[in-house]
Structure 1
């Protein structure tokens, strides 16, 4: 579970880092360069460790994982952050643990206990209510992008977590990233040709963290945790991610945090404890 916590800490910085990168890059450029950088890091890691190609039976799962966590979620959330605030975008990660658990249950035939679902639903409700409160409760243009990102990422988490029971987590995220390198290279070339770039230190740091911290290290920790304790249980640790993201938004982006934050944080932690103590 400590691996899951490390993954959530990495993920919690994704939206602030994306906000920074959008101050110097267009959304398509930021997403493509993020994929390209993370893919090159993964390729070098696999090369140094002399990791063989995955078996053919793993290719479909890797494709779904890559579509969700390497392509779909980064692109759609980046497009959403052009019109949505970081606090509003945190709604998507508030719903992600529940969506991942539902997808995993349908995909694998698992049947978590009623107490598990009750705690998961309660935690998701708290996070969504708090994030909507932070953003004023008004839906924005980016909501459709966020909903699409939520569904794709849930599938990517569940399929990647399933593969992590058979393959090392570094192999799962590594091959998912390497498989996207041709698309990332072509996308970077096209995006740089059509979108203006105003490179600043803040934009460079944001892009670097999105690639190294969120896209590589965070998923490495996350898939390893899912392989050890299961997709549904690991996903519930992510209930704390929106609150962490809001804290980073205050410290890094200057957004205001309402007094409701401590109460919401306590309620979410209680839900996480209940989820971890229930058994299927």
Structure 2
């Protein structure tokens, strides 16, 4: 065997199998699908602001320890602005807004509304990168958004609740964070993006926690602590690690197709774990949104 052949064999061995990437991406989807139930558990023993601050604080300390042990170099100055966008959208904005929404909204209802996140992310990315997407993309996105609007209005007898406003705002800020994170992941390891984001958000997470604890109900129980541990260690950090690992192996396009199952999984958890009553319109709307996302993903990757 020549040295060239040996190098080729070594290179092939270094490339993870496609199956490993699929498993990693599916693990990320499964981890994120439990975020809403875990958030509800956490807020049974503490206020929403306390849960959000503690979530970011714990995730930030874990990430700082991991980055320190692995001796990861501080990000370059050109990446700091983007990382701050990720921190604001994915570490502070989305967790806080969805936690506030879950104070008066069910996990099933919230999962359906937030099911538009892939479309919102693609739209935000198109605006930020100034890419033109085909008309079929915007048509499918519009149908998906209309389905969620109809679902929301029927749930509240023609009106929009404060929880829905929180969820829409959460969609917008998280979409910006995801889009910017996707851009950064083009030249940074994916897990570095979320790790540095939670570290940069540490001062805000600490401030929120210190201010909120004296002013909110704080009577943590075992279940609330388990919920907090989950949203801090898994939803905010660990889930992103395996999710980005999967994306790195099988690609963004294939991984995004797997994410379509996330809202439906959350609906299952809402019934099995939260004992919520699931209106017929919830799974129907979730399936409509899923189909719309399939169309947007295929047109996006085929024509752009």
1:160 aligns with 2:173: no
Q: Please name the residue that 1:23 is paired with.
A: 44
Q: Please name the residue that 1:64 is paired with.
A: 85
Q: Please name the residue that 1:209 is paired with.
A: 230
| Structure 1 residue 28 displacement after superposition | 1.0
Out of 38-47 and 112-121, give the one that drifted further.
112-121
For normalisation by structure 1, the TM-score amounts to 0.86
- Do the aligned residues in 2 keep the contact of 1:79 with 1:145 (CA within 8 Å)? yes
- Do the aligned residues in 2 keep the contact of 1:243 with 1:261 (CA within 8 Å)? no
- Do the aligned residues in 2 keep the contact of 1:164 with 1:226 (CA within 8 Å)? no
1:95 aligns with 2:95: no
1:112 aligns with 2:139: no
The alignment's C-alpha RMSD in Å is: 2.8
Out of 70-79 and 193-202, give the one that drifted further.
193-202
**2:56 corresponds to which of 35, 58, 69:** 35
- Distance of aligned partners of 1:57 and 1:226 in 2 relative to their CA distance in 1, 3 Å threshold: farther
Deviations 1:225-267 (A, max 9, x none): 666745x886565443222211111111101234566655655
- Do the aligned residues in 2 keep the contact of 1:58 with 1:163 (CA within 8 Å)? yes
1:250 aligns with 2:271: yes
Q: Please name the residue that 2:70 is paired with.
A: 49
Q: For residue 194 of structure 1, give the secondary structure of its aligned residue in structure 2.
A: coil
1:199 aligns with 2:220: yes
Unaligned runs of 5+ in 1: none
For normalisation by structure 2, the TM-score amounts to 0.80
Larger of the two Rg values belongs to structure: 2
1:174 aligns with 2:195: yes
Return structure 1 stretches of 4+ with deviation > 6 angstroms: 134-137
| Structure 1 residue 36 displacement after superposition | 0.7
- Do the aligned residues in 2 keep the contact of 1:81 with 1:142 (CA within 8 Å)? yes
Cα distance in structure 1, aligned partners of 2:151 and 2:226: 29
Q: Please name the residue that 2:208 is paired with.
A: 187
Cα distance in structure 1, aligned partners of 2:162 and 2:116: 18
Cα distance in structure 2, aligned partners of 1:68 and 1:136: 31
Cα distance in structure 1, aligned partners of 2:254 and 2:263: 17
- Do the aligned residues in 2 keep the contact of 1:126 with 1:268 (CA within 8 Å)? yes
- Do the aligned residues in 2 keep the contact of 1:161 with 1:223 (CA within 8 Å)? no
- Do the aligned residues in 2 keep the contact of 1:249 with 1:255 (CA within 8 Å)? yes
- Distance of aligned partners of 1:43 and 1:261 in 2 relative to their CA distance in 1, 3 Å threshold: same
1:83 aligns with 2:104: yes
- Do the aligned residues in 1 keep the contact of 2:140 with 2:295 (CA within 8 Å)? yes
| Structure 1 residue 144 displacement after superposition | 2.1
**2:240 corresponds to which of 219, 241, 257:** 219
